């Protein structure tokens, strides 16, 4: 870092060095930094800005450094403030002064913008793969239990019977929106900023499109000041990650509820549960509970990023160093959550009898009674009131709806006929045979569509 401080009359204090260093966390960008440097060196040689022999020497040195870091043999020196300087300093040690030619026609400002885009592209691709894995687990669980009936809830109160597969596929839909969000964000991440220099571009005849092709970018940035100061792509990943973690947190809450003694709808596989330090009988849904908590980490990271960016003048400012830990933590948290959820969902034991028993309680067919009266010519508002009175009567008598006789039904409306006694959870579910409904025919179609989306044969 000595050449950077030549303008200054005294060295930085130890506390300043420690305070300004990003090496403890940006070292994980080494692969991206080295890939960008190799592509840059190739371009400089192609354009005749440096000799081909020098480029070859630089590239060999960078390849050796990459291998050393990967094998854990590289010494990250505390006095070198970031991953760029750490790699450059080692390159000087390996190849001598020719290393100084590598930084021709670039700045650390466009260099870090490139590294962050390469990292975010890679993270997004991995996120999409893990989203697909979780979607597959949901589809397989739905397919294996497509005839299981359970209570659907509003306000966490039993509302209407649904198929378990329909319930699980609701989460498939949420995750599909996440897939679309990440794919959309990836388009704006896939922009190559190198060549923007510190902020104004560079005074060399470089070939930015060559570098873009070398690194797998579809296009190059169009404004050098925006390119070095833009972190929208970091914010977009974190925002999409926050929404995705919200979806996982909702699923986590269902897993926690369903595995509790009060519901007893599922049993977690032992590999995805924990015990208690004092109560031997406990089997806790700690994986799901942690996911609920970890959602807050990503929300916090998003707010932190937005706050860092909210008043930055163009172009680069050191505030942007604060983007890395927030992004890294969001990526790590989301990827780990998606991985454990895929296994947890795939290994759930469904307690079919308990679900179906619960679907037959709590007057869950009341809406079907109202619909029945409508089919006989009653207005829905009147039918709603009649059914509410009927439920109140049954509650007072301590009877379930299927324990009422026809004469009792007729006390509330003469429109009730003998066929009212045939209303069941099965008929209720079958009646909702509209696109998006819980009827078996619709769930079958939804499963086929989901399988097509994730590339499984129907």
Residue 398 has pLDDT above 50, yes or no: yes
Which pLDDT tens digit goes with each residue over 261-279? 999 999 999 999 988 778 8
Q: Are 320 and 232 in contact (CB under 8 A)?
A: no
Tokens of residue 101, six digits: 């030619």
Left (φ > 0), alpha (ψ -120 to 50) or beta: where does 197 sit?
Answer: left
CA angle 202, 112, 29 (to 5 degrees): 145
**CA-CA-CA-CA torsion for 119, 120, 124, 126, nearest 10 degrees?**
20
Question: Is 260 marked active-site?
Answer: no
pLDDT at 458: 64
Mean pLDDT of 345-359: 97
3-state SS record for 261-294: CCCCCEECCHHHCECCCCCCCCCECHHHHHHHHH
pTM above 0.85, yes or no: yes
> What domains appear along the chain, each with residue ranges and CATH number?
13-104 (1.10.275.10), 117-144+163-185+223-357 (1.20.200.10), 360-454 (1.10.40.30)
Mean pLDDT of 385-414: 95
Mean pLDDT of 179-187: 98
From 155, 277, 407, 422, the catalytic residue: 155
pLDDT at 10: 82
Higher-pLDDT residue of 81 and 169 is: 169
Question: Is 155 marked active-site?
Answer: yes
Helical residues (DSSP H) of 47-82, grouped into ranges: 52-70
Residue 284 has pLDDT above 80, yes or no: yes
d(CA 92, CA 2): 13
Instruction: Give the mean pLDDT of the chain.
Output: 95
d(CA 388, CA 400): 14
d(CA 440, CA 149): 10
Mean pLDDT of 66-95: 94
Which pLDDT tens digit goes with each residue over 288-334? 999 999 999 999 999 999 999 999 999 999 999 999 999 999 999 99
DSSP string, 238-249: HHHHHHHHHHHH
pLDDT at 1: 47
Residue 160's φ and ψ, nearest 5 degrees, are: -150, 150
pLDDT at 435: 97
Residue 168 has pLDDT above 70, yes or no: yes
pLDDT at 131: 98
From 51, 260, 276, 427, the catalytic residue: 276
Which pLDDT tens digit goes with each residue over 46-64? 999 999 999 999 999 999 9
Mean pLDDT of 109-121: 98
Which pLDDT tens digit goes with each residue over 206-244? 999 999 999 999 999 999 999 999 999 999 999 999 999
Residue 431 has pLDDT above 50, yes or no: yes
């Amino acid at each position: 870092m000595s050449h950077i401080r030549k303008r200054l009359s005294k060295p930085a204090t130890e506390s300043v060095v420690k305070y300004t260093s990003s090496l403890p966390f940006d070292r994980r960008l080494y692969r991206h930094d080295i890939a960008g440097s190799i592509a840059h060196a190739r371009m400089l040689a192609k354009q005749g800005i440096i000799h081909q022999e020098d480029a070859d020497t630089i590239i060999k040195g960078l390849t050796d450094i990459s291998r050393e870091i990967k094998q854990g043999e590289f010494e990250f020196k505390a006095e070198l403030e970031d991953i760029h300087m750490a790699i450059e300093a080692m390159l000087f040690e390996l190849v001598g002064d020719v290393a100084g030619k590598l930084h021709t026609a670039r700045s650390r400002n466009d260099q870090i913008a490139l590294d962050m885009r390469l990292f975010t592209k890679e993270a997004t691709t991995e996120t999409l793969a893990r989203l697909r894995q979780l979607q597959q687990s949901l589809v397989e669980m739905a397919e294996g239990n497509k005839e299981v009936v359970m209570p659907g809830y509003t306000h966490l109160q039993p509302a209407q019977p649904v198929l378990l597969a329909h319930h699980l596929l609701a989460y498939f839909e949420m995750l599909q929106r996440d897939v679309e969000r990440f794919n959309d964000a990836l388009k704006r991440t896939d922009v190559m900023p190198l060549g923007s220099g510190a902020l104004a571009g560079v005074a060399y005849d470089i070939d930015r499109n060559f570098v873009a092709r070398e690194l797998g970018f579809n296009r190059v940035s169009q404004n050098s000041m925006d390119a070095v100061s833009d972190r929208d792509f970091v914010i977009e990943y974190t925002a999409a990650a926050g929404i995705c973690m919200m979806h996982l947190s909702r699923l986590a809450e269902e897993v926690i509820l369903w595995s509790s003694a009060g519901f007893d709808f599922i049993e977690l596989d032992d590999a995805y549960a924990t015990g208690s330090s004092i109560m031997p009988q406990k089997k806790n849904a700690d994986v799901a509970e942690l996911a609920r908590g970890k959602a807050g980490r990503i929300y916090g990271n998003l707010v932190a990023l937005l706050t860092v960016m909210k008043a930055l003048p163009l172009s680069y400012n050191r505030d942007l160093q604060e983007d890395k830990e927030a992004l890294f933590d969001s990526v790590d948290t989301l990827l780990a959550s998606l991985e454990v959820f895929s296994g947890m969902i795939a290994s759930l034991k469904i307690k079919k009898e308990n679900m179906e028993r619960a679907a037959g309680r709590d007057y869950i067919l009341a809406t079907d009674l109202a619909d029945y009266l409508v089919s006989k010519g009653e207005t829905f508002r009147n039918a709603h009131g009649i059914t509410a009175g009927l439920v109140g009567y049954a509650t007072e008598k301590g009877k379930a709806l299927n324990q009422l006789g026809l004469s009792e039904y007729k006390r509330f409306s003469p429109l009730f006929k003998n066929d009212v006694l045939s209303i069941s959870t099965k008929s209720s579910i079958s009646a909702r045979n509209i696109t998006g409904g819980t009827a078996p025919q619709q769930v079958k179609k939804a499963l086929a569509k989901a399988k097509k989306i994730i590339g499984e044969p129907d």
